[in-house]
Amino acid sequence: MNPLLARFSLEGQVALITGASRGIGLAMAKGLADAGAKVVLAARDPDTLANAQADIQRNGGRCSTLVLDVNDSTSRERAFVELQTREGRLDILVNNAGVEHVQASLELDEATWDMIVDTNLKGAFFCAQAAARLMQANGGGSILNLCSLTSEVGVPGATPYGASKSGLLGMTRALATEWAALGIRVNGIGPGYFRTELTEVFYQNDDWRQSMQAKIPLARFGNLEDLAGAAIFFCSPAASYITGQVLYIDGGYLASI
Max Cα–Cα distance, the chain, nearest Å: 57
Size of the chain in residues: 257
Closest by CA to 165, choosing from 191, 194, 135, is: 191
**Residue 224 · residue 194 · CB < 8 Å:** yes
Strands 141-146 and 38-43: unpaired
DSSP state of 21: S
Q: Is 203 a catalytic residue?
A: no
Q: Cα(82)–Cα(101) distance, rounded to whole angstroms?
A: 32
The amino acid at 122:
K
Strands (E), the chain: 14-18, 38-43, 63-67, 92-95, 141-146, 184-191, 246-249
Terminal CA-to-CA distance of the chain, rounded, Å?
42
Catalytic residue among 161, 193, 248, 253: 161
Q: Cα(44)–Cα(117) distance, rounded to whole angstroms?
A: 18
Q: Cα(143)–Cα(79) distance, rounded to whole angstroms?
A: 17
Catalytic residue positions, numbered: 161
